[in-house]
Amino acid sequence: MAEDFLYLLEQQSLYRFTGRINLLWGSMRKMEGYLLMKEGNPQFFLFQQDKGIRGLLKFLLQGDSLKDFSFVMEPEIFNEKIKNIEESLKEIKDLFTQAQIQHLQYKAERPPDHLFLKIKPAFVSGKEEILPPEFDLLCILSDSSMVKEIYQQSPYFEFEVTKTLISLRKKGALVVLQQEKS
C-alpha cells in the first residue's frame, strides 16, 4: 500500500540511493512506471500517463490496488536534467497526507460508475462563471458521458473530479441519467 512505498522511499533516502525504482504490476510484473532518485531524493516520476508530483500522488492514492505492485531498485546513473519533482520526501509525505484526507472526504460523494451525465444546453448559453477544472470536465463530458470514463479521462485527482462534478451539479450544468439498457 502507499505506506509501504513511502517506507521504501525513506529507506532509499537514508542510503542516498541513486537509480531507478521500477513499478511492476501483477504476477507478470508488467512495467507500469518508475521513480528516479538521486542521492536519496526523488527526481522524476512516471506512472502510465501521469508524471511528476501529481502522478506520484495519484499512484499513492490508489489504496488497495497498490498491493498488486512490486518495486525493483536498479542502481543507475541518469541525466541530472531529467527532473519533474522538486519536493523533498518530507514534502511529498505531507502532500500525500493532505490529498488522502480530501480523497476520503469526497469518496462517499463520488457518483456511481454506471450513471451517465449530460450537459444541460441552457447552462452552456447561460452567464454562470466556469472555473478551469469545471471547463476541463465539461470538455470531457462533451465526448464521454459515463461517470467511469469521466474519471478515467480526467487529469485530476479523483477527489478533485468529484468536487468539480458536485460544483457543476449545484450550478445546474448537469443532468444525471440512468444507464441505458441495451
Domain ranges of the chain: 2-105, 116-177
**What grid cell was written down for 149?**
470514463
Q: What is the torsional sign of CA 107, 108, 110, 116? A: positive
**Best CA proximity match to 146, nearest among 177, 116, 112, 111:** 116
Give the pLDDT confidence score for residue 27 in this predicted structure: 87
Give the pLDDT confidence score for residue 179 in this predicted structure: 62
C-alpha–C-alpha distance, residues 180 and 182, integer Å: 6
One digit per residue, the tens of pLDDT, for the chain of length 182 reads 789 999 999 999 999 999 999 999 988 899 999 999 999 999 999 998 899 999 999 999 987 788 899 999 999 999 988 999 999 999 999 999 999 999 999 999 999 999 999 998 888 777 888 999 999 999 999 887 899 999 989 989 999 999 999 999 999 999 988 765 44
Give the pLDDT confidence score for residue 95 in this predicted structure: 96
C-alpha–C-alpha distance, residues 163 and 109, integer Å: 8
**What grid cell was written down for 39?**
542521492
Q: Three-state SS for 117?
A: strand
